[in-house]
Chains A and B, each alone.
Chain A
Amino acid sequence: MFIFISRDKENLLRYLALIISIATFIVSLFLYFNFNALTPEPQFVEKGAWIGYGINYHIGIDGISLYLVLLTTFLMPIVILSSWTYIQKRVKEYLIFMFMLQTGIIGVFVALNLFLFYVFWEAMLIPMYFLIGIWGGKRKIYATVKFVLFTMLGSLLMLVAIFYMYNLFYKATGTYSLNIFDYYRMILNPSVQVWLFLAFGLAFAIKVPMFPFHTWLPDAHVEAPTAGSVVLAAVLLKMGTYGFLRFAMPMFPDALQKFLPVLGVLCLIGIIYGGLMALIQKDVKSLVAYSSVSHMGLIMLAIFALNLEGLEGGIYQMLNHGLSTGALFLCVGILYERSHTRLIKDFGGVSKQMPVFSAFFLICMLSSVGLPGLNGFVGEILCLFGIFKANKLLAILGVTTVILAAAYLLWMFQRVMQGPITNDKVRSFKDLNLREIVYLAPIVVMMFWMGIYPQTFLRKMDISVSNLLNQVNRKEAIFTKANKDYENPPPYILMEKEESKDSLPIEDTEPKEDTESQ
């Protein structure tokens, strides 16, 4: 769509992009309001024959993916606003890639067919590759190639595992299917599960990223443009955790039990290692990047606690991390736009010049640290409850994430924002302009909201999460029951049918897919 608008009309392009992204967000809000919190079934289901042999266009959302979709659509207008002046060259291509990226991400969260999921999972790599590679920093090519190769390595092995399951399913039942609920029902031999879990787990662990596979993350973050970093931290990393929740854990519960100790230790190493690395970073952006490694470790640990508190906390913390880390990257981006440096030692006393910015930065940082009253606290406390229930030692060690976060973030804040002005450049800094306030304010509002009244969000999550938990523990497989009348869809789906057409954000972003084919 953008491709037909001439290159010179950059502002027109920007406004158009902004309007589209806001419209997408508003449409996705309908999803929230119409969401039925009383059922674990996926809702707003759309299903259509695509290729045959079990490969269908099949999408829908449940209580877990709902929020991730909302997070994505919420951040998109903010990201576009934030890059209003930062991206000066090749605006058109930039916006096209941004929307392609959004399409891919939402697709990953809503896909209920393994093949469709894989297609979106891979398709999302291409725009991200270009975003880092074209608009990135000095070592952009190194970073972007590393990013793509790491992710591909995991996902290709996952593809082999998908083939294998596809084939197993065919042999067992005589029909082709890639529907994930059919796979939930499949009881696999534990020794087979181990291999499949490893293949899936590797793909998702690289994406999260868990400890030994994290090395692409700091590079990608540091080199990516601000908007790229925000999307990367806020949403892309969540695809890994989402993958664990949606695919790896419920499909291979026995293997999961077997690997739990290893995974737990890896998460813990990630937490502590990420925190320590963040402490010694000289660059603000890589500090935030390492803090992501540490926080994602906590989220994974909470999810692997396999109890209601842990899972809900983990999911909630995914949203929090998306908001607060995204906001931190935005703040770093604002600093960078003014100073063209990200080294901590070049700053100092910024708050004197930029009092409004300083307030925003402080709130975002405290949210990341987990101050009560802000969103981070709720998530972290739930996570730690869950972990504590599962394993006390891990919980005690896991708390270090909060301590370390306080240490490196506060110390960074102190060095950057306070103290005397050592660098003359800082004196010329201007405070936030209206545009910057406009895009930071919604995030801060959400931080308070999620911190003070989390029930808005948790309520609609409960059933889905407990159902997931049942599936993982195989106590009572609700999905099995659901699947019996899978052929004739339950009544409530029919009721939502009219809305589902226009309330799926994927519909909105589809025209942009065409741009690529032009």
Chain B
Amino acid sequence: MNTIYALSPVLIVVAGSLLVMLCEAFFKRENRSYLAYISLLFLIANGAVCIQFWNKDYSYFDGNLSLSNLSLFFVIILTVATFLVILISMKYLALQNANYGEYYALLLFALSGMIIMVSTSDLIVIFLGLEVLSISSYALAGMRREDEKSNEAAVKYFLLGSFASAFLVFGIAMLYGATQATAIPSIIEGLRSGASMGPVGLVGLGLVVVGFGFKVAVVPFHMWTPDVYQGAPTPITAFFSVGPKVVGFAVLLRLFVPYFQDVLDSQVMHGLLWIIAAITMIAGNLIALRQTNVKRILAYSSIAHAGYLMVAILAQDIRSLVFYLTAYLFMNIGAFAAIIALGKKDHEYLELEDYKGIGFRYPWIGATFAVFLISLAGFPPTGGFLAKFYVFSAAVREGLVSLVIIGVLASLVSVFYYLRIIIFMYMKEPSYEIDIHMENPALFLALFLCLYGILQLGIFPGNIMVLINQAVSYLPFL
């Protein structure tokens, strides 16, 4: 149905961020936690609206912005992710001297960009959303202004990110040249009809892959990831590791699932993505073995997870991809939340050495962190296991057996470094005492929500699968 209601998720979030900016300008600077509450309120409203829109299939701008169930599902998980990120940020910002009001506004702007990206199928609009997301992200990465690493992260992200955007625009232009269209369904149609299927269309697609490969951090476009993840404030790292990945794969899914099904000459792209998936899984996991900084370990782990998600794209299985992204959201934000929990004023504990004996000194934080790591490693009964299970079983169904074998062997490697953190937490005696700031109810709420999510997905995945099936059942572009 063509109605202006379709704009409401974007509008709510933008309104929220504008309000946050206004409040920031007009009220006292000392206590900023009310800004966080405002943002949370708007996010809850957004979530409620999205739930109301379920099965309604609203669209606007001649279908350029459409809230199909799949889009709504993505909007909801992005909203949840942002919600969790704000929860884990509240105390952190005060402790780490990064308590600026625009933080929340930028987060909400980034969210609005992401919502635009997942609710359209026109590449130009997608690019629009991407730029809103990216520019907010560059600023967020440098939020710890006195910290050199944080500044380095921002500059690095900005330079490489604008490069990737340029590739993306160039790719879109070439696709337009090849098919005279910017909307994905028309592009697929044009490529399928074959008349325009020269090298131009293929190169255009390749460039789009480069652009989004950068956002979701697949090898060889991953170089920025470890440094930016390490330098950015930890809640922002959590945000980067989830948000751009979700939207990146949402777009790749819209583009490639119909492409692989409809276009006969798609072997070249298929082969290319196959190679990307394989080397991403291998390289991400192998390099993570050598890291001693927990944030860097998780950075490489998120690269490896991008590889598994790429397998789902190759298997053309939307269900498993969406499930994986949902599970990944909870376990990754949860892991970063646990890292934040182990911090104090002006200092975070990020080296593996700091984690010695944590498991018994802080049993609750240690145990939840261990559950998230176990889930990332893909052990049952957690959501991480089922996510891998769905992806790999879909891939086997599509005959990608060798890729799956690479995948499981790579995840065997990953077990080693995830367990290494647990070894430090539980099996080594602390060589020095660390003290952490414990009064942080919002953070513990976030930890609890993530833990609940991960176990819910692992033990009773049926509930979420019903929603995912509803989301997938209606695909306007297929």
Contacts and interface: CB of A to CB of B under 8 A. Distances in A.
B274 to A, nearest CB: 17
A123 B393 contact: no
Interface in B99-141: none
Interface string A62-92: 0000000000000000000000000000100
A148 interface: yes
A148 B417 CA distance: 12
B360 interface: yes
Given A119-B381, A134-B426, A160 B419 contact: no
Given A134-B426, A157-B405, A118 B380 contact: yes
A122 to B, nearest CB: 5
B381 A123 contact: yes
B205 interface: no
Contact of A517 (B401, B405, B451): B451
B333 interface: no
Interface in A93-133: 93, 115, 118-120, 122-123, 125-126, 129-130, 133
B369 to A, nearest CB: 14
A160 B404 contact: yes
Interface stretch (B54-62, B293-301, B407-415): B407-415
Contact of A163 (B381, B396, B423): B396
Contacts of A457: none
Nearest to A513: B381
B275 to A, nearest CB: 20
Contacts, number: 83
B308 interface: no
B427 A160 contact: no
A396 interface: no
A156 B389 CA distance: 10
A125 B379 contact: yes
A133 B426 contact: yes
B427 A123 contact: no
A145 interface: yes
Interface string B447-459: 0000100010000
A117 to B, nearest CB: 11
Query: Interface size bucket, A side?
Result: 35 or more
A164 B465 contact: no
Instruction: Provide the main secondary structure of the chain A interface.
Output: helix
Interface string A159-173: 110011011001000
Contact of B419 (A50, A120, A145, A153): A145
Nearest to B410: A156
A152 interface: yes
B462 interface: yes
Nearest to B409: A156
A163 B426 contact: no
Given A133-B423, A141-B423, A122 B380 contact: yes
B385 interface: yes
A152 B380 contact: no
Interface residues of B, number: 34
B185 to A, nearest CB: 29
Contacts of A153: 409, 412
Q: Is the interface of B mostly helix, strand, loop or mixed?
A: helix
A140 B360 CA distance: 17
A119 B461 CA distance: 14
Contacts of B385: 119, 122
B468 to A, nearest CB: 12
A320 to B, nearest CB: 31
Contact of A157 (B386, B408, B427): B408
A247 B395 CA distance: 23
Q: Which one of A141, A144, A170 has the highest number of Cβ atoms from chain B below 10 Å of its Cβ?
A: A141
Contacts of B416: 145, 149
Contacts of B405: 157, 160
A129 B419 contact: yes
A91 to B, nearest CB: 12
A119 B380 contact: yes
Given A51-B465, A119-B385, A156 B408 contact: yes
A159 B385 CA distance: 11
Contacts of B423: 133, 141, 144-145
A130 B461 contact: no
Nearest to B382: A123
B374 interface: yes
B404 A141 contact: no
Contacts of A148: 415, 419
Nearest to A163: B396
A160 B412 CA distance: 13
A130 B374 CA distance: 12
Given A145-B416, A152-B412, A156-B412, A50 B426 contact: no
B324 interface: no
B380 A163 contact: no
B401 to A, nearest CB: 7
B461 A51 contact: yes
A491 interface: no
B345 interface: no
Interface in A145-194: 145, 148-149, 152-153, 156-157, 159-160, 163-164, 166-167, 170
A152 B404 contact: no
A516 B451 CA distance: 11
A140 B393 CA distance: 35
B388 to A, nearest CB: 9
B154 to A, nearest CB: 38
Contacts of A140: 427
A131 to B, nearest CB: 11
Contacts of B381: 119, 123
A141 B393 CA distance: 33
B392 interface: yes
A123 B401 contact: no
A409 B396 CA distance: 49
Contacts of B393: 163, 166-167
Nearest to B428: A141
Interface string B421-444: 011001110000000000000000
Contacts of A118: 380
Interface in A32-57: 49-52
Contacts of B428: 141
A123 B396 CA distance: 23
A516 B371 CA distance: 9
B380 A123 contact: yes
Interface of A: 49-52, 90, 93, 115, 118-120, 122-123, 125-126, 129-130, 133-134, 140-141, 144-145, 148-149, 152-153, 156-157, 159-160, 163-164, 166-167, 170, 516-517
18 contacts: A51-B386, A52-B465, A119-B380, A125-B379, A126-B374, A133-B422, A133-B423, A145-B423, A148-B419, A149-B412, A149-B415, A149-B416, A153-B409, A156-B411, A157-B405, A160-B405, A163-B397, A167-B397
Those 5 A-B pairs whose CB atoms lie nearest each other, nearest first: A163-B396, A156-B408, A119-B380, A133-B427, A163-B393
Given A123-B381, A133-B427, 19 more contacts: A51-B386, A51-B461, A119-B381, A120-B380, A122-B385, A123-B380, A133-B426, A144-B423, A148-B415, A148-B419, A149-B415, A153-B412, A160-B405, A163-B393, A163-B396, A163-B404, A164-B396, A167-B393, A517-B455
